[in-house]
């Protein structure tokens, strides 16, 4: 009796889809089982808070590939919820009773959106944004003069704020911390992002926490704040981050640490099981410490490495962290790990753009953070990212000198 050879992927989002595609491109001719709870084909998430909310993109434009491409590659897209994983017998148990044997398995389960633990957080008109369906529910409510309260001043909240303002909404952003964007960017950049949103008509309140949400007699939403103020909204959007969806791995006995722990080859503590994307916590190339990244770049690059390693390639994941955020006509980028730096040098660019370079104790570039209008910023930031990736050790004064060309350091 011949055993069917199956490459299984749990999670049919960006990571899962790109991994399935890579398995075929790498020569796998057996079964590919792509299992996900959402009915949609694999899609990218960045447009959810931007193009889909502004109406500039359609859901089909978010898909990694067309339905025909998946069919041509003979990828079996299974819409189902996984109940359990059995590493010893290499089987996946679905809630509907089916069992899928696997030769190698990729966990691409992503994350669960965090819920706000206050009364009224589940009322109609209060939404989170994580999926295509979430975006489809929010977009029709972003009409001119709609009152929108966004809880959370991170990247998702601020991108939604920019999209809502583009649609003509009245927007208020609430952030419980003293500044926007937490520790993700330097304080000076966070202040500039704050100022940009206020210049576009967004009311930004930091050090502000909601306590309850209630319906008003008129059918609106009343958001009560800890300081006693009450905000009236037509729509409330909660954007306070995600938690890694690592429960399947934990219940299967895999090593978990606020994410599924993997080695440099993205393999978990169980042989033959890999993890990638938002759910994976992996060793940093710069520090060797375990890190987790919730970015498009991380999903795209780890999916390919994990897929090839499922086939025995044994490649190490060497990409450095990198992400961007588009807000109005500005862009914010962070490359590397700025927190590892002991010295910061600022390069002030024309057009009110700036890049902050972070160097470690040995003078090696370990991070760069930049912000500014897209037109005058992207080219310089691309060079900055390349320098961080190569571990350059430039003289600090050259980084701040606009007469010195970054390209010459390459």
Using the predicted structure, report yes or no on whether residue 205 has a pLDDT greater than 90: yes
Mean pLDDT of 52-76: 95
Q: Tens digits of per-residue pLDDT, 347-387? A: 999 888 999 999 999 999 999 999 999 887 899 999 999 99
Q: What are phi and psi of 140, to 5 degrees?
A: -65, -20
Over residues 320-338, mean pLDDT: 96
| Mean pLDDT within 334-342 | 96
Alpha-carbon gap, residue 290 to 282, rounded angstroms = 5
| Cβ count within 10 A of residue 94 | 15
Checking if the pLDDT of 261 tops 70, the result is yes
CA distance readout (Å), 407 to 331, 383, 387, 389 = 21, 6, 9, 14
Strands 365-373 and 353-359 turn out to be antiparallel
Predicted confidence at residue 376, as pLDDT, reads: 73
Q: Which CATH number fits domain 329-409: 3.40.50.300, 3.30.465.10, 3.30.230.10, 3.30.390.30?
A: 3.30.390.30
Neighbours of 55 (CB within 10 A): 13
Domain with CATH 3.30.390.30 in the chain: 329-409
Q: Is the dihedral angle over the CA atoms 354, 355, 361, 362 positive or is it negative?
A: negative
In this predicted structure, the answer to whether residue 217 has a pLDDT above a threshold of 80 is yes
Q: Which of 22-31, 104-113, 184-193, 244-253 has the least mean pLDDT?
A: 184-193
pLDDT at 358: 97
The more confident residue out of 2 and 392 is 392
* Whole-number average pLDDT of the chain: 96
pLDDT at residue 339 is higher than 80: yes
At residue 351, the pLDDT reads 85
For residue 379, what are the contacts with CB-CB under 8 A and spacing of at least 6?
none
- Joined together, the tokens standing for residue 225 give 């704040």
The whole-number pLDDT of residue 377 equals: 86
Cβ-based burial of 397 (10 A; exposed 0-12, middle 13-18, buried ≥19):
exposed
Q: How far apart are CA 34 and CA 108, in angstroms?
A: 10
For residue 309 the two structure tokens come to 């390693």
- Give this prediction's pTM: 0.95
Whole-angstrom Cα distance, residue 335 to residue 14? 21
The answer to whether residue 1 scores a pLDDT higher than 60 is no
Res. 219 pLDDT band, cuts 50 70 90: very high
Specify the pLDDT at position 2. Answer: 45
The pairing of strands 330-336 and 322-327 is: antiparallel
* 4 pLDDT more than 90: no
Domain with CATH 3.50.50.60 in the chain: 6-112+242-310, 115-238
What whole-number distance in Å separates Cα of residue 187 and Cα of residue 1? 64
Mean pLDDT of 159-171: 98
Write the class of the CATH domain 6-112+242-310: alpha beta
Residue range 115-238, CATH number:
3.50.50.60
Least confident of 1-15, 50-64, 199-213: 1-15
Question: pLDDT > 70: what percent of the chain?
Answer: 99
What's the pLDDT score for residue 3? Answer: 62
């Amino acid at each position: 009796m011949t055993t069917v050879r199956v490459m299984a992927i749990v999670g049919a989002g960006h990571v899962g889809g790109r991994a399935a595609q890579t398995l075929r491109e790498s020569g796998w001719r057996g079964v590919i089982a792509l299992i996900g709870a959402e009915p949609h084909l694999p899609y990218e998430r960045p447009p959810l808070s931007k193009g889909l909310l502004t109406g500039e993109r359609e859901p089909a434009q978010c898909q990694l590939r067309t339905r025909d491409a998946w069919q041509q590659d003979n990828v079996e897209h299974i819409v189902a919820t996984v109940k359990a994983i059995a590493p010893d017998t290499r089987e996946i148990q679905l809630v509907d009773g089916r069992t899928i044997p696997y030769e190698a398995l990729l966990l691409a389960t992503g994350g669960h959106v965090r819920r706000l633990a206050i009364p009224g957080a589940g009322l109609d008109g209060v939404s989170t944004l994580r999926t295509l369906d979430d975006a489809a529910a929010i977009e029709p409510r972003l009409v001119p003069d709609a009152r929108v309260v966004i809880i959370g001043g991170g990247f998702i909240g601020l991108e939604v704020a920019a999209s809502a303002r583009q649609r003509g909404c009245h927007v208020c952003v609430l952030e419980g911390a003293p500044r926007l964007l937490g520790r993700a960017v330097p304080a000076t950049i966070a202040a500039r992002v704050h100022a940009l949103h206020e210049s576009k008509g967004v009311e930004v309140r930091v050090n502000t926490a909601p306590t309850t949400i209630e319906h008003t007699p008129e059918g609106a939403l009343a958001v009560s704040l800890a300081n006693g103020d009450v905000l009236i909204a037509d729509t409330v959007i909660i954007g306070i981050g995600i938690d890694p969806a690592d429960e399947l791995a934990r219940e299967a006995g895999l090593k978990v640490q606020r994410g599924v722990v993997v080695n440099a080859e993205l393999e978990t503590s169980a042989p033959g099981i890999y993890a990638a994307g938002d759910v994976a916590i992996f060793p940093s190339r710069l520090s060797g410490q375990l890190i987790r990244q919730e970015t498009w770049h991380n999903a795209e690059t780890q999916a390919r490495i994990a897929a090839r390693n499922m086939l025995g390639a044994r490649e190490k994941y060497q990409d450095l962290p990198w992400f961007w955020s588009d807000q109005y006509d500005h862009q914010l980028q962070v490359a590397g790990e700025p927190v590892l730096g002991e010295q910061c040098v600022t390069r002030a660019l024309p057009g009110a753009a700036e890049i902050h370079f972070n160097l470690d104790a040995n003078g090696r570039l370990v991070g760069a953070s930049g912000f500014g209008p897209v037109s005058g910023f992207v080219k310089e930031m691309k060079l900055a990212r390349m320098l961080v990736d190569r571990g350059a050790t430039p003289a600090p004064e050259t980084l701040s000198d606009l007469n010195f060309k970054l390209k010459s350091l390459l």
